A and B are shown apart, each in its own frame.
Chain A
């Protein structure tokens, strides 16, 4: 059995939430209780206030709203999802991988270490641009790799007997020059100073 206080409190709630029993009890009491009658009247009147009437419906259609929302949900706003993460993370990983590959190949080129067949192809092409000079020098060096021919090339054949090249090298000209003792080197330089090349 609802008391008067119960009914007054219930009439503060939205009218639609009242049960049939509560409405019947409130109506019966309102007939002889002005305060309850007023509360019941206000409760009913407020129930007529719908949010659409008070505030109005959205200005945009559902379709327009969804389109605008999709624009807001650009790749940069997407969340981490699933095993592969967000599109943003996926893009970041892709860029990182590309940069990593570039650094590996680029680093390999600078350090002279080739790490893949593709890299070798690229570097072979680049090295080919330098090859004419190297080939010319090496062809000379190949000819003069032994002490006799090198001494002959330098114009000091009599000194060949005193030179001792220990082993073949990839850089025979350099090694030959470094292999000269200081006296021989000075002699070679003196000869070169007196040589007219053109």
Chain B
């Protein structure tokens, strides 16, 4: 993703010059990443779809003032994380989700297929991720799934890099503690 940062900036410039097609391109590039980050944080696919829309609405409204001090995706994921954390706090969804919640939000026909597709590891991982504290969860998702450098995550989360690294390591240790026995048993 960072490799496309320059292209993103060019699309931002085009959008700022009045090209809405450039904005559509930005949406298509980042929509999936924003959605997966949101569903990882919120644990609900419908909420994640809503937040993904919200993120791009905010982006559309604010992109005129984007100066390019940071990469576009850093800016975008900052919006994403903030909106997700706000939603979690406003709804007090502290208990987060389990596999059941994710499955229950799937259409019936898709659910059966999904049951077959989802590996036991994925199910356990989802539960384990769900039990992480919000900040650790966000850092883990951005680092592990989005492959963002700690420095970028620090900008997104508005924390120093050392704190982000510590959060990530704590998250990984917790996940290993929960998934370790299963992983070792499978090997």
**A56-B106 contact in complex given A14-B144, A16-B147, C-beta closer than 8 Å:** yes
Q: Which residues of chain A (18-63) have a CB below 8 Å from chain B? A: 38, 41-42, 45-46, 48-60, 62
Interface size on B, residues (CB 8 A): 50
Q: Does A68 sit within 8 A of B, measured CB to CB? A: yes
Compute the total of residue contacts between A and B using a CB distance below 8 Å. 107
CB within 8 A of A50: which of B35, B145, B187? B145
Q: Is the CB of B64 within 8 A of A58?
A: no
Q: Is the CB of B143 within 8 A of A72?
A: no
Q: Is the CB of A54 within 8 A of B143?
A: no
Q: Is the CB of B57 within 8 A of A72?
A: yes
Residue of A nearest to B169 (CB): A12
Which listed segment binds B: A75-83, A90-98, A115-123? A75-83
Q: Does A69 sit within 8 A of B, measured CB to CB? A: yes
Q: Is the CB of B122 within 8 A of A53?
A: yes
CB within 8 A of A69: which of B45, B56, B145, B172? B56
What distance in Å separates the Cβ of A117 from its nearest Cβ neighbour in chain B?
39
Q: Is the CB of B175 within 8 A of A46?
A: yes
Which listed segment binds A: B26-34, B71-79, B86-94? B26-34
What distance in Å separates the Cβ of A11 from its nearest Cβ neighbour in chain B?
9
Q: Is the CB of B183 within 8 A of A79?
A: no
Q: Does A73 sit within 8 A of B, measured CB to CB? A: yes
* Cα–Cα, bound, A54→B63 (Å): 31
CB within 8 A of A14: which of B52, B125, B143? B143
> What is the 8 Å Cβ interface bit string for chain B, positions 103-142, against chain A (1 contact, 0 not)?
0001100000010011101100110010000000000010
CB within 8 A of B129: which of A17, A54, A57? A54
Q: Does A65 sit within 8 A of B, measured CB to CB? A: yes
Q: Is the CB of A42 within 8 A of B126?
A: no
Q: Is the CB of A69 within 8 A of B27?
A: yes
Q: Is the CB of B179 within 8 A of A45?
A: yes
Q: Is the CB of A46 within 8 A of B57?
A: no
Q: Is the CB of A66 within 8 A of B24?
A: yes
**A41-B183 contact in complex given A48-B121, A66-B27, A80-B64, C-beta closer than 8 Å:** yes
> What is the 8 Å Cβ interface bit string for chain B, positions 136-180, against chain A (1 contact, 0 not)?
000001011101000000000000000000001100110110011
Residue of A nearest to B36 (CB): A51
**A56-B102 contact in complex given A69-B53, A81-B18, C-beta closer than 8 Å:** yes
* Cα–Cα, bound, A49→B126 (Å): 10
Q: Is the CB of A42 within 8 A of B49?
A: no
Residue of A nearest to B117 (CB): A53
Kindly list 5 other residue pairs between chains A and B, CB separation below 8 angstroms, not including A58-B35, A77-B60. Answer: A12-B168, A14-B144, A56-B114, A65-B31, A81-B18
Name B residues whose Cβ lies closer than 8 Å to a Cβ of A. Answer: 18, 24, 27-28, 31-32, 35-36, 39-40, 45, 49, 52-53, 56-57, 60-64, 102, 106-107, 114, 117-119, 121-122, 125-126, 129, 141, 143-145, 147, 168-169, 172-173, 175-176, 179-180, 183-184, 186-187
17 residue pairs bridging A and B, Cβ less than 8 Å apart: A13-B143, A41-B187, A42-B183, A48-B121, A49-B122, A51-B141, A55-B39, A55-B126, A56-B45, A56-B102, A57-B32, A58-B32, A58-B35, A65-B31, A69-B53, A78-B60, A82-B18
